[in-house]
Structure 1
């Protein structure tokens, strides 16, 4: 088969039909825009807006904390209004919040606009996940993996474009990156409005094929198992802080590796996700098999932590090799967690309140984005011995999550549509 035919065949195998393919374009454009801006945001606030470094830290920290509320709020709205409309509204919200930054150099106003954008960002992530789960249907794990692959490719393209633009070093260059990201949000909002509203799960009465009588929707805030699951997820999302914050700082302050290795490790992370995320889904054909990924997830995280400890003990070449091992191991842990977390968060959610449940689950990643960098920098300050302790914490968390969810998960394969039954 020719390369063009292979690409066409792959395109046709994407779950969700035309809407599934459109959501992938949305993910690509969105992450290209994010890649343009994320690496330049702090520099914009200091070099263009003229804020002191301390104020930039406060602005980004408070706005990130404000965004935590976006996940449950968006999930709540998704159970009451069309998801595509709510998602498009959050995308427009982010575009307007970014453009508003161009109108002022006031710390207070920039904090408000950044917080509004952060609310939209966290809400958009939850809504995109919910849309993808419904569009992917029984192939949702594979679809999520494809979407994550596309997202990482977009992030890499945006990051490279930002690096070229930032080499110009002018205020207009920074403003151009901001406008580029705002334009990407406007573009994906237009695409989102062209998507059909994905069908929500339906409860059926056993043996009748008839919809079950309506009942009060489940409340995730009263679901002790789901709340504890979300709490454990906060710890398992730490790979993000270790890869993006911990490793660059560790290279500079604790190893003999060249400083230029830091961005290359992030490139390695993106490349591994692009090539490995989809193949890894074959190890999770059911919710129960997704749960079994927690063990290798913990194992690779520990290997990464041990490699970080070792990197502080040798010269430049040894440190570089150890950091490469650490980045590869932590990326494998990240990909396994992405697969397990995606499936478990959906499988454990009540069908009649998926939006609310996934909104609660979104708190885990939001909390990690606020607290993760603080924990990782504390580990760095404690020295090489602290990395294995962090790894041990992840092992304990994986064991606790495994025990917590194992009796609540359905055992049917994802290729077989699960049927929720009620006889009352």
Structure 2
């Protein structure tokens, strides 16, 4: 499945570097129309996360994931066949739906096959995905030097073929079956058996709500950093792409080593405390970058980029563990699908949040970091240790993915 992550993200890297240019120069859409396509894809992605997780609890996981990859491939190829806005809206929605569903299913596969090593597995998977993203971006940058419409179409075909290849590799992987047992964790439901519907699990829904706030850091590097650096600081514009590279290099080099600090439920919960401080310090550093002078502004902006990248990696580690530890094993797909709403929702809310911080100036960034830090503390309080398990599993019946009790 790591090969799937590499191929998938390489294709994503090709399209991410090409999409705006393709819709502008090949299909002739306006800026508002391009923005609408992105918004529609984001909204459809919100639905894709829970639907994909639900299907994975009912059907073989690899088949559902392969179907999502095929849907993404078909959506990409469909873009080549029309320049009309309405069909492009439909295709963008299908692509967004498939992308978010595939993301949840890939995480679920790792959870099932890695068992107690799930956090480390997800860290390796994320590292490989970042390498693929970088390769795709570099390939697109080299190809776009030609600047012809044919090149844009070739890159879109390359994106579609990456999904076809990912589907083929997925079907060659061993099926990851759902655990047969349920482990009681903290007695949050009667008789030690938790609700099988995440929509009725108030604790899990509250956890997802706090995690949605923590995922806002994703918008920093997608929207906030470049806009703030260019419009509100004296830092040279050439620093922005260097900070993007720094973010990618840090994730590739440090995500796996940092994963060991959140390898259990109790460790992941403890990690929320330094994570809150990291978010707060990063927001303050971003605010400080508004100081006059290119050198001090660059230093503060670099410190903010390093801080938010560290927060991003720590939060990923915490989220991988807690989103699974709080879910009953027989309904992991449904629960992880609902958790996928956190990341999908922030794609719509995140850009608005960071642009609001930019509009408010330095105080806005301080408030941004403070709000996320407060969400970390709220999550730390929410995910409290429960009483010890009444009995340990038999050595002959190991429980995959067993974690410390939480309640």
Q: Whole-Å Cα distance in 1 between the matches of residues 43 and 235 of structure 2?
A: 33
Tell me if the contact between 1:62 and 1:115 (Cα under 8 Å) persists in the aligned partners.
yes
What is the RMSD computed on CA atoms of the aligned residues?
2.0
Cα displacement string for residues 118-175 of structure 1 (whole angstroms, at most 9, x for unaligned residues): 0000000000000011111111111111111111111111111111112211111111
Query: Superposition pairs for residues 101-112 of structure 1, below 5 Å?
Result: 101-112=79-90
In structure 1, the residue corresponding to 2:362 is in which secondary structure? Answer: coil
Partner of 1:38 in structure 2? 16
Compared CA separation, residues 49 and 301, structure 1 to 2 (3 A): same
Partner of 2:233 in structure 1? 255
Query: Superposition pairs for residues 126-275 of structure 1, below 5 Å?
Result: 126-203=104-181, 218-275=196-253
Q: Whole-Å Cα distance in 1 between the matches of residues 387 and 322 of structure 2?
A: 8
Give aligned pairs, total: 388
Cα displacement string for residues 296-347 of structure 1 (whole angstroms, at most 9, x for unaligned residues): 1121111211111111112112211111111111000000000000000000
Partner of 1:15 in structure 2? none
In structure 1, the residue corresponding to 2:8 is in which secondary structure? Answer: helix
Give the Å deviation of 1:216: 10
Compared CA separation, residues 267 and 419, structure 1 to 2 (3 A): closer
Partner of 1:331 in structure 2? 309
Q: Does 1:379 align with 2:326?
A: no
Q: Whole-Å Cα distance in 1 between the matches of residues 22 and 337 of structure 2?
A: 31
Residue 316 (structure 1) aligned to one of 294, 297, 309: 294
In structure 2, the residue corresponding to 1:385 is in which secondary structure? Answer: helix
In structure 1, the residue corresponding to 2:278 is in which secondary structure? Answer: helix
Tell me if the contact between 2:111 and 2:401 (Cα under 8 Å) persists in the aligned partners.
no
Q: Whole-Å Cα distance in 2 between the matches of residues 407 and 108 of structure 1?
A: 50
Give the Å deviation of 1:416: 8.0
In structure 2, list runs of 5 or more residues that go unmatched.
Answer: 185-192, 393-397
Q: Whole-Å Cα distance in 2 between the matches of residues 168 and 284 of structure 1?
A: 45
In structure 1, the residue corresponding to 2:177 is in which secondary structure? Answer: coil
Compared CA separation, residues 410 and 300, structure 1 to 2 (3 A): farther
Q: Whole-Å Cα distance in 2 between the matches of residues 273 and 409 of structure 1?
A: 36
Q: Does 1:404 align with 2:390?
A: no
Partner of 2:95 in structure 1? 117
Partner of 1:292 in structure 2? 270
Give the Å deviation of 1:205: 9.9
Tell me if the contact between 2:287 and 2:363 (Cα under 8 Å) persists in the aligned partners.
yes
Tell me if the contact between 1:288 and 1:410 (Cα under 8 Å) persists in the aligned partners.
no
Q: Whole-Å Cα distance in 2 between the matches of residues 89 and 285 of structure 1?
A: 31
Query: Superposition pairs for residues 18-97 of structure 1, below 5 Å?
Result: 23-97=1-75
Tell me if the contact between 1:217 and 1:353 (Cα under 8 Å) persists in the aligned partners.
no
Q: Which aligned segments of 4 or more residues in structure 1 are displaced greater than 2 angstroms?
A: 407-412, 415-420
Give the Å deviation of 1:39: 2.0
Q: Whole-Å Cα distance in 1 between the matches of residues 358 and 18 of structure 2?
A: 24
Partner of 1:13 in structure 2? none
Q: Whole-Å Cα distance in 2 between the matches of residues 173 and 45 of structure 1?
A: 13
Cα displacement string for residues 348-394 of structure 1 (whole angstroms, at most 9, x for unaligned residues): 00111000000000000000001110111111111111111111101
Residue 372 (structure 2) aligned to one of 373, 377, 394: 394
Compared CA separation, residues 155 and 341, structure 1 to 2 (3 A): same
Q: Whole-Å Cα distance in 2 between the matches of residues 204 and 328 of structure 1?
A: 40
Compared CA separation, residues 202 and 177, structure 1 to 2 (3 A): same
TM (norm. structure 1) is 0.88
Residue 343 (structure 1) aligned to one of 321, 345, 348: 321
Tell me if the contact between 1:204 and 1:419 (Cα under 8 Å) persists in the aligned partners.
no
Give the Å deviation of 1:199: 2.6
Tell me if the contact between 2:117 and 2:401 (Cα under 8 Å) persists in the aligned partners.
no
